[in-house]
Chains A and B, each alone.
Chain A
Amino acid sequence: MTESLSLEIRALHEVSLTVNGELKTVRAYPMERLLDVLRHQLGLTGAKEGCGEGECGSCSVLLNDALVNSCLVPVLQAKDADIVTIEGLAAGVQLDVLQEAFLKSGGAQCGICTPGMILAAHHLLRRKPNPTTEEIREGLSGNLCRCTGYIQIVEAVAEAARRRAAA
Chain B
Amino acid sequence: MRSNPADYQLVAPASLQAVVSLLAAEPGAWLPIAGGTDVMVQYAAGKLPARKLVSIWNLPELRRIEVSPEEIRIGAGCTYTDLREHEVVQSEFSLLARAAAWTGGIANQNRGTLGGNIVNASPAADSLPALLVYDAELILISVRGERRVPYKDFHTGYKKTKLASDELVRAVCLARRFSGYLAYTRKVGARNAQAISKVCIAALGRRASGVVEDVRIALGSVAPVPLRLAETERLVTGKPVEPSLLVSAKRVAIAEIQPIDDIRSTARYRAAVAGNLVAEFLEKIGEN
**Which residues of A line the B interface, CB within 8 A?**
1, 6, 9-10, 28-33, 52-55, 57, 60, 66-69, 71-74, 76-77, 79, 120, 123-124, 138-139, 141-144
Contact = CB atoms under 8 A, between A and B. Distances in A.
B252 interface: no
Nearest to B101: A138
A14 B53 CA distance: 18
A1 B26 contact: yes
A19 to B, nearest CB: 18
Contacts of B145: none
Output the residue of A9, A72, A120 with the most chain B CB within 10 A: A72
Across chains A and B, which 3 residue pairs bring their CB atoms closest together, nearest first? A142-B105, A141-B193, A30-B10
Interface in B54-100: 55, 57-58, 81
A57 B107 contact: yes
Interface size class of B (residues with CB under 8 A): 35 or more
Interface string B10-54: 111000000000100110000001011100110111000000010
Interface of B: 2-3, 5-6, 8-12, 22, 25-26, 33, 35-37, 40-41, 43-45, 53, 55, 57-58, 81, 104-108, 110-111, 192-194
18 contacts: A10-B6, A29-B5, A33-B40, A52-B44, A54-B108, A57-B107, A66-B81, A68-B107, A69-B107, A69-B108, A71-B44, A72-B35, A72-B108, A74-B55, A120-B106, A120-B107, A124-B106, A142-B107
B34 to A, nearest CB: 9
Given A29-B6, A53-B45, A66-B81, A141 B12 contact: no
B45 A76 contact: no
Contacts of A6: 9
